[in-house]
Amino acid sequence: MYEERFYRRISKPAELACYEIRYKETDLFCCTDSDLSPFIKERVLFYRNQLEEYIRMKPSFQESLAPIGDDRFAPAIASEMIHASALIGVGPMATVAGAIAEFVGRDIMPLTRDFIIENGGDIYLRTSERRTIQIHAGSSPFSGRLGIALGPAPEPRGVCTSSGTVGHSLSFGKADAVCVVGSSSLFADGLATCLGNSVKKKDDIAAAVEKGQRFPGVTGILIILGDQLGAWGDLDIVEI
């Protein structure tokens, strides 16, 4: 059954074509200069089929909550997930939503100047306009009232959010929202999960923010638990 996505209650960019692509558990919200839905759906099927076949061959890729060893026979998307999760210290599937968003985004880069690919709240985008991404943080008083504004940039960026109180994704923490901004949505997805797992009380926020700063390609971190937040990096946090 289709469930309305709470993180899509933001106005669609008027100048872009916006549409949804759904296949099995993958549910993309896409905005591009023109409608690229047939091409994007083909790429989603391609990457999902690669991952499903690899999981059949190597079940630990899906089941492990810790890094697994490199595999030179893995398809490119699985290989990057394995490598990133090993650096971060999580299982490969902690990066899957960001991975699909990023791999689809890479494929459409020659076809559109601006694009927004959102998969389960994890976003890979390139924009020539200022965009604001609303932060949903469960019952926190900050939920829906703060956003991260991103200015124009020639290179794509990833903006990924993990929560221990919102949604169905596995988290061992209690943070209402852990948002990571960086050059890769694949990496940001895994890191948001990792940092979220470490935040079980408000006193954990500062240590999690400090930990996240050490990873390459990360440009900003925002963590919210209840009425407390911690932030670091090149973040333009705005009221909505």
pLDDT value at 126 more than 70: yes
Q: Residue 110 has what pLDDT?
A: 98
Residue 219 falls inside a structural domain = yes
Say which residue, 164 or 230, is predicted with more confidence.
230
Q: Residue 166 has what pLDDT?
A: 74
Residue 35 falls inside a structural domain = yes
- Total number of domains in the chain: 1
pLDDT confidence tier of residue 11, bands split at 50, 70 and 90: low
Q: Residue 170 has what pLDDT?
A: 67
Residue 7 falls inside a structural domain = no
- Any residues with CB less than 8 A from the CB of 138 and at least 6 apart, and which? 163, 165, 166, 176, 177
Mean pLDDT of 133-137: 93
Mean per-residue pLDDT over the chain, rounded? 93
pLDDT confidence tier of residue 9, bands split at 50, 70 and 90: very low
| Residue pLDDT, tens place only, 50-84 | 999 999 999 999 999 999 999 999 999 999 999 99
Supply φ then ψ for residue 74, to 5 degrees.
-70, 145
Residue 2 falls inside a structural domain = no
Instruction: Tell me the residue range of the domain where 31 lies.
Output: 15-239
pLDDT confidence tier of residue 7, bands split at 50, 70 and 90: very low
Residue 182 falls inside a structural domain = yes
Residue 10 falls inside a structural domain = no
CATH number of the domain encompassing residue 102: 3.10.520.10
Nearest by Cα to 205 from 184, 234, 174, 159: 174
In the beta sheet, which residues pair with residue 31? 18, 116
Nearest by Cα to 136 from 169, 177, 164, 168: 177
Residue 1 falls inside a structural domain = no
Strands 146-150 and 236-239: antiparallel
The dihedral through the CA atoms of 84, 156, 44, 161 has a sign that is positive
| Residue pLDDT, tens place only, 83-125 | 999 999 999 999 999 999 999 999 999 999 999 999 988 999 9
Residue 134 falls inside a structural domain = yes
| CB 72 within 8 Å of CB 83 | no
Three-class secondary structure of residue 107 per DSSP: helix
pLDDT value at 154 more than 90: yes
